Amino acid sequence: MALLDILYRDDHLVAINKPDALLVHRTRIAGDTLAALQILRDQINRSVYPVHRLDRATSGVLLFALRSEVASRLCRAFEERTIHKRYRAVVRGFPAPEGIIDHPVVDAETGIARPSRTRFRRLETLRLDAVVEGRAAQYSLLEIEPETGRRHQIRRHLKHLGHPIIGDTTYGRGEHNRFFRQQFGVHRLLLHARSVELTHPVTDAPLRIEVDETEERSWRLFREQTQDVWVSE
């Protein structure tokens, strides 16, 4: 079993760089599958408490508390939106330079549409000498900040915007996903939790935990293959 990459640790918190395809914790559907919580618990030999979640297919900063009372404070801070998460994603096409997606997300369990907001900013654009779906192959690197925390919110919002994330087999476009697999060897969702900013729940000190998306192999290989054709905004 491979060790997890620990980005930050003190007496109260621990943050890892979650690989893609790894669950945060076991579920009824995948009860026998290894998950980040169990691996980290065994790695540091103490109990850990998840305070937020990442989709299985999403990589990046994942935060745990080391005591239940600290977990409660962090969960409350997430609910009060005083913890800020930023993501990076590669999407189809060229969305607006920046914007807010304000669109309800339906809860899969209750069927209730809940208010949801996501901010985005376009960082770079990419034009490739290829045609996909009958159009020129054009893509963008976005920085994304969800203001709410609905399940699959970022993925669903970008689909609603008409610029789905590359590698998204649920909300994306199969032609573009296949193009990235064949052209660049990308077999994953290009969505990465880049940073978490918070006030430390015990010391009250400002804390920023960050990991570059190119720490992940698929991102790094893709960027290396296209490094000369990206255009910064």
- Residue 94 confidence (pLDDT): 97
- Residue 108 confidence (pLDDT): 79
CA angle, 223 then 191 then 74, to 5°: 130
pTM for the whole thing? Answer: 0.94
CA dihedral 175, 89, 1, 51 (to 10 degrees): -130
Q: Which of 232, 78, 216, 93 lies closest to 158, judged by CA?
A: 93
In the chain, which residues have pLDDT < 50? none
- Residue 66 confidence (pLDDT): 98
- Residue 25 confidence (pLDDT): 82
What angle separates helix 174-184 from helix 217-226, to the nearest 10 degrees?
A: 80
- Residue 32 confidence (pLDDT): 54
Q: Which domains does the chain have, with CATH numbers?
A: 5-232 (3.30.2350.10)
Taking the C-alpha atoms of residue 164 and residue 56, their distance in angstroms, rounded to an integer, is: 17
Q: Is the Cα torsion angle 104, 109, 111, 112 positive or negative in sign?
A: negative
CA angle, 43 then 71 then 13, to 5°: 45
128, with CB counted inside 10 A (0-12, 13-18, 19+), is middle
CA angle, 135 then 161 then 102, to 5°: 170
**Under the phi-then-psi rule, with left for phi > 0, alpha for psi from -120 to 50, and beta for the rest, what region is 84?**
beta
Q: Which residues are catalytic?
A: 55
For residue 198 the two structure tokens come to 């918070």
